[in-house]
Amino acid sequence: MAPLTFVEEKSSSSTLPLQDLNEEEEYQVVIVGCGPNGSVMANLLGMYGIKTLVVEASDTIYNLPRAAHLDDEAIRILQFIGLDELMKQNSLKLDVKFNRKSQSMTYLTIKNTETVYGHPRSIFWYQPELEQILVNGFQRFGEHMVKLLLGHRMVRMCYDQKTKTNRVEVVDNETGHVKNIRCNFVIGADGGNSTVRKSMSSNLHGESGSMRWLVIDATLDSDHPKINDYFQFVCDPKLPMVSCPLPGNHFRWEFAIADGQDEDEFIAGSDRLIELYGGDLSKLKNRVADRWFDGESRFIIGDAAHCLPQFLGMGVSSGMRDSINLAWKLKMALDNINEPYRINTAALLDSYALERKPEVELIGNKSNRIGNAVMSTNIIASTIRDLFSYILLLMPFIQTIFTNNEMKPIVPIKEGIIDHGHATDQYYDKKKSSPWKSFLGFLVIFYYALLQWSSSSSSSSSRKNTHKKNVGHRIVQPNIIMNNNNNNNNTMKLDSVMGLGFSCFVVNATDNTFSLLNTNSSIWKLLNTSFITIGQNNSSSSHWKQFPSIQIQRDQDKPFNAFIGNNMDGDSIIVIVRPDKHIFGIYKGDNEIATISNSLQNTFLIN
């Protein structure tokens, strides 16, 4: 047999003959690394019935806290894998305060209300507990479906062009025994020093911020004097810092250390702490890998693909969004191996990086800019910042923008697996032309908030294709009531009627809508589509009675209708939603609905 080229862990290549093939195990996917992102991915693949092996170099789940925050969209991903309630029970829902001094002089409070995605704006958790909940989740699928190999390091892998499979070598830390694994896809969830990334000749680009941060995690004595029970940014130029309680009497501080200052002085005098995990001194990194997919069979997710500054706490949330973006595409690609449907697998898998990179790049840049503005150590800049923010925040509408919107950017998919039609691209156009852009750094925060506000108000007045303005966005998640359920008062979240595949919402249906959609066509089956009707069903056909029919809960129906462009003129509307909840397309009226079939075929099939 011809020798194959291996890529070793230390990123060198060697040519070795195949050996020990009789010991080979087969999986559809091997995930390297069982941190938060590898374990979310394993749960997603388990949900899809994909035979998965998770290889983790450590003997145990990592037991020190690092990440502490998840956003509403990440909690929604936990909802997809059925672990959101458990996570919420083990987390804190904290308000966020911007204080001039620690625990005093608050000038802005962001309440932790429920957002349009149907979950709290943020939850704060203790990372070892989160990881344990995620790993326990594997048991639901059984070892035959999702298997975890702790204490095993992936050392080498090679791709066999003939069989289009990878051969992965993993070594047992204790015995040195080598296992050979054969798989279709490898996912590198192996953190910032990712071996899988190096094997793809992918490089991280970006910079570390200039500020040094000391992160301290501690467990407080049970009789420790009360400290803040909210998340606080202390915007004091003499000692900018962040602090927040975490579940189980844990507490986190992050201090910006001035040049020449000694971090030990922060730890000294902490005699009321019974357990101090020590400090991690780091600069805020903002690095994104240039390749996330090798074009054949390897992907990277989470920190392996991007190291984001921790300022907005988006590391794990962004990694979870990578996972859900990729999981359903892998499912389609794997199904296509066994029963070739002419799926355009190359375009599908290429879209992963195309869709995810713009979001993490924007979050990384924005985290740094906001971090520099809010945590400035420059007395003059911070005084100007405080003066402006004081004046601006006197205006109620500015207050509302901040208390209702996060500083987190909302980044719709612009290019990838979506049908944009001829929607006007207001978000990006406005961003480019704004005169605010070159203004003082701290106004960036206000700029983004105003941008969101102005784009939503102008888009509602713009006439052309306004119903398409949210294509590429994640669909909002209102509460709903099932019409054809005997228990009419049973309120549930929208996602609970959406399956693991695509969803097709049919609003104001008529007989003609149904015949144009042709729900029996093979493309809908390929996308594993759930059809759901909303509002009045004007069809006489009994055929549609088989599909769930829902009502949006009364106080949430207006925002939902505005989101999908339903201006109550009675036109039929079709909203197609991808498994990761991004809107593939919105079609209004018979002319547009008639184009759906072609659009789906052109997107998913090889022509």
Ligand X SMILES: Cc1cc2nc3c(=O)[nH]c(=O)nc-3n(C[C@H](O)[C@H](O)[C@H](O)COP(=O)(O)OP(=O)(O)OC[C@H]3O[C@@H](n4cnc5c(N)ncnc54)[C@H](O)[C@@H]3O)c2cc1C
How far is CA 57 from each of CA 148, 149, 153, 154, 180, rounded to the nearest angstrom?
11, 8, 4, 7, 16
Which among 98, 387, 101, 106 has a CA at the least distance from the CA of 236? Answer: 101
Instruction: Compute how many other C-beta atoms are within 10 angstroms of the C-beta atom of residue 204.
Output: 18
Least gap, CB of 55 to ligand X (angstroms): 5
Nearer to ligand X, 42 or 418 (CB): 42
Least gap, CB of 99 to ligand X (angstroms): 19
Residues 6+ apart with CB under 8 A from 12: none
Residues 6+ apart with CB under 8 A from 548: 482, 483, 484, 497, 530, 532, 533
Which among 64, 87, 82 has a CA at the least distance from the CA of 133? Answer: 87
Nearer to ligand X, 278 or 340 (CB): 278
Alpha carbon of residue 419 to chain centroid? 21
Least gap, CB of 266 to ligand X (angstroms): 14
Nearer to ligand X, 230 or 587 (CB): 230
Nearer to ligand X, 54 or 509 (CB): 54
Least gap, CB of 430 to ligand X (angstroms): 28
Q: What secondary structure does DSSP assign to 213-259, as a single string? A: EEEEEEEE-TTPPP--SSEEEE--TTS-EEEEEETTTEEEEEEEEPT
Nearer to ligand X, 263 or 335 (CB): 263
What burial class does residue 89 get, using C-beta atoms within 10 Å of its C-beta: 0-12 exposed, 13-18 middle, 19+ buried? exposed
Nearer to ligand X, 127 or 510 (CB): 127
Nearer to ligand X, 212 or 431 (CB): 212
Residue 399 token pair:
């207050």
**Which residue's Cβ lies closest to ligand X?**
35
Nearer to ligand X, 39 or 455 (CB): 39
Report d(CA 140, CA 388) in Å as an integer: 53
Q: What secondary structure does DSSP assign to 519-539, as a single string? A: TTSHHHHHTTPEEEEES----
Q: What secondary structure does DSSP assign to 422-465, as a single string? A: T---HHHHHHHH-GGGGS-TTHHHHHHHHHHHHHHHHHHH--TT
Least gap, CB of 179 to ligand X (angstroms): 12
Identity at 507, one-letter amino acid code: V
Which among 363, 1, 6 has a CA at the least distance from the CA of 154? Answer: 6
Least gap, CB of 127 to ligand X (angstroms): 7
Nearer to ligand X, 153 or 331 (CB): 153
Nearer to ligand X, 300 or 586 (CB): 300
Least gap, CB of 37 to ligand X (angstroms): 3
Least gap, CB of 215 to ligand X (angstroms): 4
Least gap, CB of 124 to ligand X (angstroms): 8
Which among 460, 427, 484, 475 has a CA at the least distance from the CA of 576? Answer: 475
Which among 394, 396, 578, 567 has a CA at the least distance from the CA of 471? Answer: 578
Please check whether residue 232 is in contact with residue 101, taking contact to mean a CB–CB distance below 8 angstroms: no
DSSP 8-state code for residue 343: B
> Between vectors from CA 63 to CA 58 and to CA 69, what angle results, nearest 5°?
120
Least gap, CB of 123 to ligand X (angstroms): 11
- Strand 178-188 relative to strand 25-32, pairing: parallel
Nearer to ligand X, 27 or 505 (CB): 27
Residues 6+ apart with CB under 8 A from 175: none
Site residues (vs ligand X, CB under 6 A): 9, 32-38, 55-58, 62, 66-69, 153-154, 189-191, 195, 215, 280, 302-303, 310, 313-317, 319
Nearer to ligand X, 166 or 195 (CB): 195
Least gap, CB of 202 to ligand X (angstroms): 15
Least gap, CB of 2 to ligand X (angstroms): 26
Determine the 3-state secondary structure of 357 from DSSP: helix
